Structures are given as structure tokens and as C-alpha cells.
Amino acid sequence: MNSHILLFANKIDLDVIGAMSSFVTPFGVKVALFVSNIGSPYSFLLLAIAAVMIFWLYKKPYYLIQFIVTLGVGYLSVYVLKILIAKPRPVAALIQVGGYSFPSGHATVATLFCSLLIFAYKDHIKNVFLRLLFIIILSISALAISFSRVYLSVHYLSDVVVGIILGLLISSLSVFIFENFFRKKELNID
């Protein structure tokens, strides 16, 4: 049963890479590379430092600690899974990248980062339209970063989908743990 699922996923991965190649254009590669670079570890490090400084300035230690811990868990999870699974990257990549393919670190961290920002700030935006716009922009950003990796053929679709799921699982678990065990103590809620 498991081997059938893996074979089916592998077939979909190869079909998507093959179909994607017919949509590749020089301009599309430039756009995908730009979007992908926004999701690079270096860019997210700078964005994370900015977010941490904002949490610090606005005296939100709960979000600051949650943000640092959760991103650290995300990076560590991706690193360990890449080593344990050791899935090679697609051979027809449009850019040079090293390391293993599964799961996509860009997809995991973009999903984590954006979902944590949504969680931290959505309730502070009182205007319903602006709150929805904030959520949509961050969600589209995470998806664009994730799928730019498939367009560039440096990840298979399954790498990105699992990266998104992993990011959502880690951020959901983080919100649950921090809300139920740490935030209640910070707010003195029993």
C-alpha cells in the first residue's frame, strides 16, 4: 500500500515537472527567482530580526519568544527531515542549489513565518477589509514563495506540499502550546 502511494506521488511529481517546463519563460524565471529569494534563509533571517524588533518595541515578549522558538523548530525540523529522507532534487533544475529536496525549506519557513504574523497581528487590525487583505497577502506570499521552487524545478510538488503542511502543523502546534500554557500565565488567566 505505502509503495503504491509513493509511486503515485512520484508520478505526479514527474508529471508536474514535465508540464511546468512548457510554461517556463526567461521572464518567468526572473520573477520566480525574485520570489524565491524573498523566501531564502538569509531574507527570512532579516525579516525575522525586523519582526523580533517590532515585537520588542511594542512590548510583546510572548510573540517574540514564540516567533524565535517556532522558527527555530521549523528550521531544525526541515534540516533533520532532509538528512533522514535524503531525497535528491530534480535533475533539470533551472538554478544551482545544493542539498536535498524533501521537504522544501522555503515552503516550510514561508508558511511558518506568514502564519505566525497572521496570528500575531490579525486581531490588532480592526477594519475587517484590511484584516482580510492582510491575511490574503501573507497567504499568497507564502504560496508564491513555495511554488516558485517548483517553477524553478529545484523541488518536486510533493516537497512543497509537505513543506506547507509541516509549516502549518508547527505553527498550529506553537499557537496551541503558547496560548494554552504560556499566554495564560502571562495574562494571569486560569
50-59 pLDDT tens trace: 877 777 776 7
Query: What was the pLDDT predicted at 171?
Result: 94
Q: What is the 3-state secondary structure (H, E, C) of the chain?
A: CHHHHHHHHHHHHHHHHHHHHCCCCHHHHHHHHHHHHHCCHHHHHHHHHHHHHHHHHCCCHHHHHHHHHHHHHHHHHHHHHHHHHCCCCCCCCCCCCCCCCCCCHHHHHHHHHHHHHHHHHHHHCCCHHHHHHHHHHHHHHHHHHHHHHHHCCCCCHHHHHHHHHHHHHHHHHHHHHHHHHHHHHHHCCC
pTM recorded for the entire structure: 0.84
* Averaged pLDDT for residues 108-132: 89
Query: What was the pLDDT predicted at 187?
Result: 52
Mean pLDDT score across all residues of the chain: 84
Q: How confident is the model at residue 76 (pLDDT cuts 50, 70, 90)?
A: very high
Query: What was the pLDDT predicted at 188?
Result: 53
- Is the predicted pLDDT of residue 116 greater than 50, yes or no? yes
